[in-house]
Amino acid sequence: ADRWHALGLAHHRSARSPTIPASACTTPLPWLPFPSPPTEQAAVEVEKKPPEEEDKKKSGGGGGQQAGGQGAGPLGGSSPSGRACRPIWMAWEGAIGIDLGTTYSCVAVWQNGHVEIVANEQGNRTTPSYVAFTSSKRLIGDAAKNQADMNPANTIFDSKRLIGRRFTDASVQNDIKHWPFKVISGPEDKPMIAVKYKGVEQQFAAEEISSMVLVRMRETAEAYLGSTIKNAVVTVPACSTDLQRQATWNAGVLASLNVMRIIPEPTAAAMAYGLHNKVTEWGVVENALVFDLGGGTFDVSLVEIEFYIFEVLATAGDPHLGGEDFDNRMVNHFVQEFKRKKKKDISGNPRALRRLRTACERAKRTLSSTEEAVIEISCLYEDIDFYSTITRARFEELNMDLFRKCMDIVEDCLRDARMDMSSVHAVVLIGGSSRIPKIQQLLQELFNGKELYKSINPDEAVAYGAALQAALLTGPNNDNEGWMSDLLLLDATPLSLGLGTKGGDMTVMIPKNRAIPVKTEIVISTDYDNQPCIRIQVYEGEGAKTCDNNLLGEFEFSIPPASKGVPQIIVCFDIDANGILDVSAKDKNTGEKKKVTINKRFHLKQ
């Protein structure tokens, strides 16, 4: 019951972020060693514990190898040079930036006057967004992905494609065909992931899986800083729905994080670009188009940058388009080839498909730098070895319709912003799939030969920008530069929001690409005499009819008996800086008011 309550927590957001004194921010000493790799079991096992138990473990009991060095207890010890270590695992009042990706996640922190990307225990600057369950433990990150071929039914990936969605959504049903793990329908059409953990069948919501990844990212930063961390800025795709943003927020709550802000991934990347490219002169305006093609989502944002002010002019995207879809095309191609050559159908064998997918992912990366890649898998199915090759041209042919779709979305974004291509000063590539040569070629052709901006790491730029926003929200400290107080982010609504009216029409309250935070009102009345209540239905989308849009929620507002058209009900839509919506209704005559926050699928919190 507590777990389900946590999944639907109402969010308490303050209007102002706290100002943290400089003395509260700790900086690790240069000689403080990174924790030595623990035993395999200790490195990969993450048991479910209450947040307070986890905090107690990190701040109190037990010696062993902590971030203070070999043999150092949790309060520090001696450095390799014999100097006394400062106490560690104190509460760090700053905030980290987390890029919660579909396939990989990344964490960054503002420290020593710049952003630092934090490497995990394996020394990698990105961590696979994988969670695996075995008969004895739970694995997260690299350890989970490394054993996926042997344990496909209990190794979860792509959970971000389920977050904030319905089980009956067409995209979910299509994804289920490609996943080796089981997804079933839960309460209120919520997709639930079914696994076998320690010999027991268990079900997890997508935000629970995402929360486990967030915990790992938090722990990675804690090991680096030598302090416990509570505050974070987490990114979401720009085209995320309100439900998906709320579900991501809930994942942060489950990970014992105070999510200070939810920001769109391309907006975070635009901040990274602006500061990296020093677009900070007063009076100089630059329009940057951020092309973010990741593992599971595709976003395009047009951002105007002027003297540390980043204003989103327009956003477009597809929440179900990315590198995973390119992999699926290649997997299907080789499944058919295996069937044709070996007369065997492996489409129903999870382990064979997982091994083939791993090989296809590797081949896709290889094709970004060479013209041909080899697929070689021993004993793929029934002791049959599989060997094949794929050329870059064939890979492009398999995915050309998806590549073209990316270009169409870029044009949609420019059209929404009423801007021609000649007015775009920079095209910034973000996301691992933006490395695909054909994507770059099509994009360059679209912009009449303009050079693409590739000087920032596409895998790290989003976390970099999130860390900048985190530093801004935690207030001035000794690590912050003077310009930090000038930094301003003006985001925009990714989708139109409105009311359902008589006849099934959609009355738009807040149009797409409106700057946020934003608040707007409309007056509505009754349809017939002595109408006892008004049903307020909140929709999200671009369709003229409500049936073509996404129902966020609905509630009834009671009114006293009166003649048709006499009651005056003021309906207010209020979107905060995180893009999360509050809706209120007020009777102009009686003063009665009802305010709700859409905080869980089909549920409204009064």
Which backbone phi and psi does 453 adopt, to 5 degrees?
A: -85, 115
Tally of structural domains, the chain = 3
| Domain's final residue, options 363, 397, 431 | 397
The CA dihedral of 489, 490, 493, 497, to the nearest 10 degrees, is: 130
Q: Is the pLDDT of residue 487 over 50?
A: yes
How far is 527 from 447, CA to CA, in rounded Å? 52
Residues 214 and 356 in one domain: no
Poorest-pLDDT segment among 54-58, 175-179, 293-297: 54-58
Residues 376 and 519 in one domain: no
Residues 189 and 61 in one domain: yes
Q: What is the pLDDT of residue 482?
A: 59
What CATH number corresponds to the domain at position 514? 2.60.34.10
Over residues 300-319, mean pLDDT: 93
Q: Is the peptide bond before 517 cis (omega within 30 degrees of 0)?
A: yes
Buried/exposed 157-191: b ≥16 CB within 10 Å, e otherwise: bbbbbbbbbbbebeebeebeeebbbbbeeeeeebb
Instruction: Using pLDDT thresholds of 50, 70 and 90, give the confidence band for residue 202.
Output: very high
Let me know if residue 43 belongs to a domain. Answer: yes
Let me know if residue 57 belongs to a domain. Answer: yes
Contacts with 340 (C-beta within 8 Å, 6 or more apart), sequence order:
none
Let me know if residue 438 belongs to a domain. Answer: no
How far is 573 from 496, CA to CA, in rounded Å? 12
Q: What is the pLDDT of residue 88?
A: 45
Contact 231, 260 (CB under 8 A): yes
Q: Which own/partner contact pairs does 456-459 have at CB distance under 8 Å and 24+ positions apart?
A: 456/269, 456/272, 456/273, 456/276, 456/428, 456/430, 458/429, 458/430, 458/431, 458/432, 458/434, 459/104, 459/106, 459/125, 459/126, 459/431, 459/432
Q: Is the pLDDT of residue 278 over 90?
A: no
Q: What is the pLDDT of residue 6?
A: 41
How far is 31 from 46, CA to CA, in rounded Å? 28
Residues 132 and 213 in one domain: yes
Over residues 141-145, mean pLDDT: 97
How far is 48 from 131, CA to CA, in rounded Å? 13
Nearest residue to 266 (alpha-carbon basis) of 497, 425, 491: 491
Q: Is the pLDDT of residue 259 over 80?
A: yes
What CATH number corresponds to the domain at position 198? 3.30.420.40
Contact 383, 377 (CB under 8 A): no
Q: Is the pLDDT of residue 228 over 50?
A: yes
- For 314, left (φ over 0), alpha (ψ -120 to 50), or beta? beta
* Residue that has been written with the tokens 């409106």 in this structure: 514
| Domain's final residue, options 397, 412, 431 | 397
Instruction: Using pLDDT thresholds of 50, 70 and 90, give the confidence band for residue 170.
Output: very high
Residues 336 and 245 in one domain: no
Which domain does 357 fall in, by range?
323-397
What CATH number corresponds to the domain at position 356? 3.90.640.10
In angstroms, what CA-CA distances link 553 with 19, 37, 434?
A: 35, 48, 36
Contacts with 441 (C-beta within 8 Å, 6 or more apart), sequence order:
none
Nearest residue to 93 (alpha-carbon basis) of 488, 479, 579: 479
How far is 184 from 194, CA to CA, in rounded Å? 7
Which residues, in sequence order, are bridge partners of residue 596? Answer: 583
In angstroms, what CA-CA distances link 441 with 129, 403, 444, 448, 535?
A: 29, 10, 5, 11, 51
CA atoms within 13 A on the CB side of 133: 21
Residues 43 and 158 in one domain: yes
Let me know if residue 586 belongs to a domain. Answer: yes
pLDDT tens per residue, range 106-120: 999 998 888 999 999
pLDDT tens per residue, range 48-107: 444 444 444 444 433 333 333 333 332 233 333 333 333 445 667 789 999 999 999 999
H helical segments located in 388-451: 392-416, 437-446
pLDDT tens per residue, range 382-408: 999 999 999 999 999 999 999 999 999
Q: What is the pLDDT of residue 26?
A: 32
Q: pTM to 2 decimals?
A: 0.81
How many C-beta atoms lie closer than 10 Å to residue 54's C-beta?
A: 18
Over residues 342-369, mean pLDDT: 96
Residues 259 and 329 in one domain: no
Would you list the DSSP string of 262-331?
EEEHHHHHHHHHHHHTT---TT--EEEEEEEE-SS-EEEEEEEEETTEEEEEEEEEETT-SHHHHHHHHH
pLDDT tens per residue, range 437-471: 999 999 999 999 999 999 999 999 999 999 999 99
Residues 72 and 217 in one domain: yes
Over residues 150-167, mean pLDDT: 96
* CA 66 to mean position of chain CA atoms: 30
Residues 69 and 194 in one domain: yes
Q: What is the pLDDT of residue 534?
A: 92
* Structure tokens, 216: 């790992």
Report percent pLDDT > 70 for the chain.
Answer: 81
Residues 213 and 86 in one domain: yes
**What integer best gives the mean pLDDT of the chain?**
84
Would you list the DSSP string of 346-396?
-TT-HHHHHHHHHHHHHHHHHTTTSSEEEEEEEEEETTEEEEEEEEHHHHH
Let me know if residue 275 belongs to a domain. Answer: no
Instruction: Using pLDDT thresholds of 50, 70 and 90, give the confidence band for residue 156.
Output: very high
Residues 235 and 372 in one domain: no
Nearest residue to 241 (alpha-carbon basis) of 315, 185, 191: 315
| Domain's final residue, options 349, 367, 397 | 397
Over residues 289-294, mean pLDDT: 98
Poorest-pLDDT segment among 66-80, 191-205, 431-445, 504-518: 66-80
Let me know if residue 473 belongs to a domain. Answer: no
- For 76, left (φ over 0), alpha (ψ -120 to 50), or beta? left
Question: Which residue type is seen at 126?
Answer: T
Let me know if residue 161 belongs to a domain. Answer: yes
Q: Is the pLDDT of residue 11 over 70?
A: no
* Structure tokens, 116: 């630092």
Q: Is the pLDDT of residue 33 over 90?
A: no
Instruction: Kindly list the catalytic residues.
Output: 99, 160, 265, 292
Let me know if residue 272 belongs to a domain. Answer: no
Instruction: Using pLDDT thresholds of 50, 70 and 90, give the confidence band for residue 38.
Output: very low
Residues 338 and 218 in one domain: no
Tell the burial category of 420 from Cβ atoms under 10 Å away from its Cβ (0-12, 13-18, 19+).
exposed
Q: Is the pLDDT of residue 585 over 90?
A: yes
